[in-house]
Structures are given as C-alpha cells and as structure tokens.
Amino acid sequence: MQKLKKWTILKSKMVLDHPWCKVRKDEIELPNGTVIDDYFVNLKPEVALILPITSNQEIVFVRQYRHAVGEFFIELPAGSFDPKQESAEVAAIRELVEETGYITQQVRKIATLYDKPSKDTNQIHLFLAENVIEVREQQLDITEEIEVILIPVETVLEKIAQGEIAVAGSVAALFLGLNFLNASKYSGGRK
C-alpha cells in the first residue's frame, strides 16, 4: 500500500483580508508533482454549537434566514468565536442565551468536527446542555432576526428525514447528542 503524502505549499498570500471574510491563495504541489497555482482556502473562525434540551424533553432551536442560500433554516444555536478571547464552552453558553434567552448551568462537550476541511480552516465545537430554562429576552446582533422554536426530542429524527432540519452541524450535533443521552440512560449515567 502506498503511503499518502501531504501537499506542499510553494507560495501563499492573502487575497481577501476583511474582518468577516478571509481568503488565502496557495500555490501547491501535489505528491504526484502537479502544481496548482490557485487553490483558495477560507480562513474561518471557530464555531461553538449547542444542543439545548429543556426538562420537558424539548430541544430549543432557532429559525433564521440564511442569505447565501436565500432560505429560512431550523438549526441549533451557534456562533463564531475567537479562542484567544473565550473558550468554546463559554462561547456556546453565550450563544445560547443571546439567541434564545435560555440558560444552562452545565454543558458537556459532544465532539469537535471539521465542517469542510477541503476549503475551510475552522472547527465546530459541539456541546450538550440539559434542563435549560428561559430567563430573558433574546439579545440579537443587528444582522440577526431569530425565531425560537421548541421541538420535542422524539420528533427530531423525523424532521431531519423530512428535510425540515438540514444544516449539517445541527444534524451532527443532534445525532451525536441524542446517541450520548441514550447511551447514558442505558448505562446508568456512566459514559
């Protein structure tokens, strides 16, 4: 079996350096010797995403417009953060309260995933929060108009299958988080 090799960066320069969008253009050499002079990489911030569940076994979702696709989506609360400024856990809790008005006393890390590692540099940090409670109004950014939706846990998989919940990070968090909860339930709370 042939051993896989990394690509070699021959040159690299920033072609777009805006606070909301950073793109790097690399000239790379593939292991087979082919040179590609225009491989673009999106330098994206880290993302914290939280799966909040109430004591009534309802998941707190947000519904909002996503301009790139021109559609409304039901997804879990999430947002970008700078790991030099705050931890992923703190960012997840902050996004939950800002976008929904719900708080939690404790979160558990579910996983850290890469969204699109062929072109994007960021990771998505997934968290689970149980027994969340609503304590205040949303505190939205100027670009946010968010509807809070509560969906019973037992109907979520059906909504994914029907395409009502279709954002990749939210779907991954739901499958991983609900699997974690089921495993904990059947193991007496042990991981």
> CATH number of the domain that 133 lies in?
3.90.79.10
162 and 140 belong to one structural domain: yes
Range of the structural domain that residue 14 is part of = 8-42
Amino acid at position 143, single letter:
T
Calpha distance 9→131 (Å, rounded):
48
105 and 21 belong to one structural domain: no
Calpha distance 181→20 (Å, rounded):
36
Please say whether the beta carbons of 107 and 132 come within 8 A: no
93 and 173 belong to one structural domain: yes
Task: Kindly state whether residue 2 falls inside one of the protein's structural domains.
Answer: no
Tokens 């909040």 belong to which residue? 52
30 and 81 belong to one structural domain: no
Check residue 95 and give its pLDDT.
95
Task: Kindly state whether residue 168 falls inside one of the protein's structural domains.
Answer: yes
Number of domains comprising the chain: 2
Q: Is 162 helix (H, G, I), strand (E, B) or coil?
A: coil
21 and 98 belong to one structural domain: no
Residue 181 CB neighbours (<10 A): 17
Task: Kindly state whether residue 3 falls inside one of the protein's structural domains.
Answer: no
* pTM over cut 0.85: yes
32 and 51 belong to one structural domain: no
57 and 24 belong to one structural domain: no
Check residue 184 and give its pLDDT.
67
Calpha distance 66→167 (Å, rounded):
11
103 and 150 belong to one structural domain: yes
Residue ranges of the chain whose pLDDT lies below 70: 184-191
Task: Kindly state whether residue 1 falls inside one of the protein's structural domains.
Answer: no
Calpha distance 78→60 (Å, rounded):
12
Shortest CA distance to 88 belongs to which of 129, 49, 48? 48
